[in-house]
Amino acid sequence: MGSENLAYALTQVVHNFGAVGVLGGALFALWPTLRLEYGRTFAWLILVAWGMQIASGGLFGVTSLFYYGETPDLSRIALAALSVKVAAAMTGFSLAAFYLYRGRAWSRVSVKRTFRSLAALGAVALTAAAFLRWFS
């Protein structure tokens, strides 16, 4: 029981800090003042944060499998929320990676739009996270 609680708690620590990085990184690049000259630094932070979310999110499932032999029995709404989070995470990770790969040639407007999209994806994922607690 102790090791199970510790495994969930440590995974949740990574997941919480990843959530901060995903949304905070994108917001801080845009507000209160535009910091696009540090766009690549923010993008690396955001890329790592999305990666942390994907890895720790998967680890939640692996931990359940290890201790119970099955993944949690989610309601339809919780399952839909999880799908939204997974889709947001894959899109956010890909967008940050694409910007790091090609973004040097992009206009300021495009870079700003990219960070706005990354912030929106983070907000969607965080909102969806709350609906994981929807039990049937």
Contacting residues toward ligand HEM, per CB under 6 A: 15, 19, 22-23, 53-54, 57-58, 60, 85-86, 88-89, 122, 125-126, 129-130, 132-133
Smallest gap from residue 60 Cβ to ligand HEM (A): 4
| Tokens found for residue 110 | 């495009």
Q: How far is CA 61 from the centre of its chain?
A: 16
Smallest gap from residue 24 Cβ to ligand HEM (A): 10
Which value, to the nearest 10 degrees, does the dihedral of the CA atoms of residues 88, 82, 44, 115 take?
Answer: 30
Instruction: Give the angle 122-50-110 at the CA atoms, nearest 5°.
Output: 65
Distance CA 62, CA 32 (A): 39
Given the complex with ligand HEM, which of 31 and 68 has the nearer CB atom? 68
Given the complex with ligand HEM, which of 95 and 125 has the nearer CB atom? 125
Given the complex with ligand HEM, which of 71 and 110 has the nearer CB atom? 71
